[in-house]
Amino acid sequence: MITLLDYGAGNVRSVRNAIRKLGFEVRDVEKPEDILSADKLIFPGVGNFGVVMQRLVRDGYAEKIVERIRQDKPTFGICVALQAFFDGSEESPGVAGLGIIPGQVKRFTDSGLSVPQIGWNGIKLHKESSLFSAYNGEKLYFVHSYKASANPDNRDWILTTTDYGEEFISAVAKGRVIATQFHPEKSGAAGLGILERFLQDSETLTVCGAKNTLIAGEKTQIARRIIACLDVRSNDAGDLVVTKGDQYDVRQEGEVRNLGKPVELARRYYEEGADEVTFLNITGFRDFPLQDQPMIEVLKETSKNVFVPLTIGGGIREFTDSEGNFYSALDVASQYFRSGADKVSIGSDAVYSVEEYLKNREKTGKTAIEQISIVYGAQAVVISVDPRRVYVKSSDETSHTTVKTQFPGPNGEEYCWYQCTVRGGREGRDVDVVQLVTACEELGAGEILLNCIDKDGTNSGFDLELVRMVKGAVSIPVIASSGAGCPAHFTEVFLETGAEAALAAGIFHRGEVKISSVKRAVAEAGIETR
């Protein structure tokens, strides 16, 4: 029986599912005393340091966790839980941490790498550990903007470190207490393996030796991610299907294309090595997602068997239902996080928010982006951009940021700008892609999912001019999307734009290209991959 500390932050369902998948039963902490009496405790943490600490203190959990750790009872902390072990964090000045490990958690400094760090990176073992020895150098899933660093007073705690511009602490351990910055429950087979060893036998967990020798010294590197995307909607018979458009038109001979069932396809892509899976509820802009229970069920079912990050998009916005009940965008997102999502992606609502924001560049704290990122962290908020090319003869013809294109328009126009659209590409707005992504970053978004209506479903390669432009405009990670037709297109987008991830749909759904072939091609080109 494993005890789980669920204090309402982030995606705890995945941790629960991972424990169950490994054959153990889960019991929740219901009162502070349960923390001390638990045989084995898992302490997950997602989101903002201050929010996490505030909840732990409010519910009377903080002091019990400290006591439990002093008593050396088997405990496994994840992500922000590791950070909470420290004295405090730059993320929430003035908020005290648990004070178990000396040091302050700080934001990644500018090293030219995008922040948050989102993706699969390696670990370097500093001590013998039965839990980790099989996984030294293995890639595990990280998602964070803040990190703990070694100092003379905390070296005895350091189990592994990882490099992302600078070296940071990726796991701590002492006695039978362990915490990881990465998410084992989102790190595929390797992560489940680490968790399984802890669950099975915490007696042998004890880390050997206080010596701090580096066992493997090479710098670790983050991998470029390959993401499988499932556009989901109900077809005319009312069945929820994975569909795929050509330049966003998902109908063929009047019928919605049906390329499979969402849960089955997501599982297949996980087993084939996808680094992430994204669901886009493409009619979410007109439905109310909390009434759209099938999507929530899809997430719940998928997260039982898929142990890599899941993103859900479509319809993340505030809503008043027919009975007059008001739901904030945060309520909608929270429901998705509780159902197994790690990130939510915001499309139309981000465009409307940016239109308002650009009027006087004042943050109101009321946009979906701000509300969700304050509670769940920037890394949980992805902006799905649906731009379309607008060709002009010269850059003076428009106030929008243009690009001189190698692919001129229908009348030989040599310039274009990228117009943002809403409602699944149905309506263009007077906002360009650079305005959108920079404003969203300022409002607190953590990642850009960059589609391209002109390229969608064409198999002709990513729009490199677009991806380069957006990469140059923001310092958060960018996922290139739309147009992948073969493995070489992924290599090209990584080498020529620096995008952190590349996403494809049609080629995977139609079985034309396997995820493993993409990974092989990318690795052969000398690009770090998982």
- Which stretches of the chain bind ligand 1PR, using CB under 6 A? 229, 231, 244-245, 248, 250, 280, 282, 284-285, 313-316, 345-349, 384, 386, 424-425, 451, 456-457, 481-484, 504-506
- For the CB of residue 57, give the shortest distance to ligand 1PR in the complex, in Å: 35
Which region holds residue 463: left if phi is over 0, alpha if psi is between -120 and 50, else beta? beta
Taking the CB of residue 426, how many other CB atoms lie within 10 A of it?
12
Residue found by looking up tokens 């991610």 in the block: 225
| 200-to-1, 130, 174, 183, 299 alpha-carbon distances in Å | 11, 12, 18, 18, 28
User: What is the Cα gyration radius of the chain?
Assistant: 23
Give which of 84, 192, 79 is closest to 143, Cα–Cα.
79
Query: Of these residues, 126, 144, 183, 400, which one is catalytic?
Result: 183
Specify the residue, 174 or 244, whose C-beta has the smaller distance to ligand 1PR.
244
- For the CB of residue 513, give the shortest distance to ligand 1PR in the complex, in Å: 10
Indicate the residue whose CB is closest to ligand 1PR: 424
Specify the residue, 395 or 459, whose C-beta has the smaller distance to ligand 1PR.
459
Specify the residue, 97 or 313, whose C-beta has the smaller distance to ligand 1PR.
313
Query: Of these residues, 91, 138, 185, 370, which one is catalytic?
Result: 185
Bond into 116 cis (ω within 30): yes
Taking the CB of residue 455, how many other CB atoms lie within 10 A of it?
21
- For the CB of residue 466, give the shortest distance to ligand 1PR in the complex, in Å: 12
Residues in the chain, total: 530
- For the CB of residue 6, give the shortest distance to ligand 1PR in the complex, in Å: 28
- For the CB of residue 483, give the shortest distance to ligand 1PR in the complex, in Å: 5
Q: Is 208 annotated as catalytic? A: no
CA angle 434, 437, 441 (to 5 degrees): 135
HSE-up (13 A, CA, CB side) for residue 365: 2
Task: Report the SS3 class of residue 292.
Answer: coil
Specify the residue, 223 or 504, whose C-beta has the smaller distance to ligand 1PR.
504
E strand residue ranges, 197-324: 225-234, 240-243, 251-252, 255-256, 276-281, 310-313, 319-320
CA dist 143 and 213 (Å) reads 27
CA dist 514 and 309 (Å) reads 19
Q: Is 185 annotated as catalytic? A: yes
Does residue 332 contact residue 295 with C-beta atoms inside 8 Å? no
- For the CB of residue 167, give the shortest distance to ligand 1PR in the complex, in Å: 36
- For the CB of residue 346, give the shortest distance to ligand 1PR in the complex, in Å: 5
Q: Which helix (H) or strand (E) holds 357?
A: helix 348-360
Residue 276 phi/psi, 5° resolution?
A: -160, 160
Specify the residue, 182 or 319, whose C-beta has the smaller distance to ligand 1PR.
319
Query: Of these residues, 79, 229, 420, 440, which one is catalytic?
Result: 79
Q: Is 509 annotated as catalytic? A: no
- For the CB of residue 32, give the shortest distance to ligand 1PR in the complex, in Å: 39
| 131-to-100, 178, 190, 207 alpha-carbon distances in Å | 22, 10, 11, 9
Catalytic residues: 79, 183, 185
